[in-house]
Amino acid sequence: MSSKHHITCVFEDGATSQFTSSSFETVYQAALRSGLTLETDCREGACGVCKAYLSDGDCDLGDFSDEALTEDEEEQGYVLSCQTRARSDLVLQFGYPMSLLNKEMVRIATRVAALEPVADNVVRLVLESDAEPLTFLPGQYVNLSVAGQVDGRSYSFANSPLRPGAMEFFVRLLDSGAMSDWLRDRATVGDEVHIEGPYGQFFLRAPRGGELLMVAGGTGLAPILSMLEKLRAVDAPPPVRVLYGANHPGELFGLERLRDYGDWVTVETAVVTGDEAWTGKVGFVTDLIAEQRLDDATLADAYLCGPPPMIDAARQALTGLGLSDSRIFAEKFLPSEK
């Protein structure tokens, strides 16, 4: 027999939502039945987008991958709302404002306006559309698809949300994969691409004073660029420290753009394997964190974007330096090509 439990969702802006759930349905399904569409993407326990902190209650965590919810996160009390089923009344805290849920999911047709290589195995893709511009928060992503060729693949905006006309993405080309093969072999200017979104809880929070630290690995730089574009539009942008890494120097892109932001952005780079011309740091981008003199009193928030091992190592390094986990926002870039 199924019993009913009360679920309370508390959002970053202090807004709350309450609904009931049976033990047969996930928190996401129960919320949906009550008219609340929580942030999700895969709904299979694979991406971690639906993560929430369980501050009270008992639940069945369901099935999920280590990438979506690490052992550490599980121990700290995080759960995946697309998998979790209540065993008692629950209180869940979500790391985004409830107002984010009021946005409309949009699907629009766009066309390729530019496609150019910017680094080894990285292309810059610019899409434009005659449809109503899609609004998003800097750091969020959309799913791109090409009729008959590519099913939805997730990519983060790199452009300013304040100028949403032309949408810019940086795509890492894998040896084989539907989107990689299409971009490398067949895509041309004018081709139609469908966009659905925006998605994601990784977005620039309202500045609360203090310095920002942004750590990017590979094409994880894309959402960081979108955040910097947004910040450059404010009268007095906060100081931002960007730590940016790649496997080798040829994979780094966007360095000139990072330098062009001005004095409020400082950049440090690292590559895992250098070459004869490389005079910078050799190592992981997360090694740079240990070299920073971070002052917990002046550092406001940290934003991390890149492969899962980079995120886990960066989070560990930052919490080791005393930064509260609640001030660290992260997006794991998972290889999604098949």
How many angstroms separate the CA atoms of 74 and 90, rounded? 16
Provide the 3-class DSSP secondary structure of residue 119.
Answer: strand
The CA-based angle 104-109-114, given to 5 degrees, is 120
Residue 115 CB, shortest distance to ligand FES, in Å, is 29
Q: What is the dihedral of CA 240, 125, 157, 147, to 10 degrees?
A: -170
Please, which residue, 223 or 245, has the CB nearer to ligand FES? 223
Under the binding rule (CB under 6 A), the answer on residue 82 touching ligand FES is yes
Number of chain positions touching ligand FES (CB under 6 A): 13
- Contacts (Cβ under 8 Å, ≥6 apart) of 282: 270, 271, 272, 273, 274
Please, which residue, 101 or 126, has the CB nearer to ligand FES? 101
Residue 334 CB, shortest distance to ligand FES, in Å, is 10
| 40-79 binders of ligand FES (CB under 6 A) | 40-43, 45-50, 68
- CB-hemisphere CA count at 13 Å for 257? 15
Residue 324 CB, shortest distance to ligand FES, in Å, is 24
Structure tokens belonging to residue 97: 């404002």
Residue 166 CB, shortest distance to ligand FES, in Å, is 29
Under the binding rule (CB under 6 A), the answer on residue 252 touching ligand FES is no
User: One symbol per residue from 183 to 202: x for binding ligand FES (CB under 6 A), - otherwise; what is it?
Assistant: --------------------
Please, which residue, 43 or 248, has the CB nearer to ligand FES? 43
Q: Which of 291, 338, 299 is nearest to 322 (CA)?
A: 299
Question: DSSP alpha helices (H): ranges in the chain?
Answer: 27-33, 71-76, 178-181, 221-232, 255-260, 285-291, 308-320
Residue 22 CB, shortest distance to ligand FES, in Å, is 19
| Contact in structure between 51 and 70 (CB atoms under 8 Å) | no
Residue 60 CB, shortest distance to ligand FES, in Å, is 15
φ, ψ (nearest 5 deg) of residue 78: -85, 150
Please, which residue, 78 or 244, has the CB nearer to ligand FES? 78
Residue 64 CB, shortest distance to ligand FES, in Å, is 6
Under the binding rule (CB under 6 A), the answer on residue 80 touching ligand FES is yes
Residue 44 CB, shortest distance to ligand FES, in Å, is 6
DSSP 125-183: EEEE-SSPPPP--TT-EEEEEETTTEEEEEEE--S-TTS-SEEEEEEEPPSS-HHHHII
| 88-107 binders of ligand FES (CB under 6 A) | none
Of 38-46, 194-202, 241-249, 294-302, the window that binds ligand FES (rule: CB under 6 A) is: 38-46
Please, which residue, 230 or 315, has the CB nearer to ligand FES? 315
| Contact in structure between 245 and 282 (CB atoms under 8 Å) | no
| Contact in structure between 128 and 177 (CB atoms under 8 Å) | no
Tell me the β-bridge partners of 216: 244, 305
Please, which residue, 52 or 173, has the CB nearer to ligand FES? 52
Please, which residue, 177 or 200, has the CB nearer to ligand FES? 200
Compute how many other C-beta atoms are within 10 angstroms of the C-beta atom of residue 322.
Answer: 10
Residue 200 CB, shortest distance to ligand FES, in Å, is 11
Please, which residue, 38 or 134, has the CB nearer to ligand FES? 38
Please, which residue, 43 or 232, has the CB nearer to ligand FES? 43
| 274-303 binders of ligand FES (CB under 6 A) | none
Q: Which residues bind ligand FES (CB under 6 A)?
A: 40-43, 45-50, 68, 80, 82
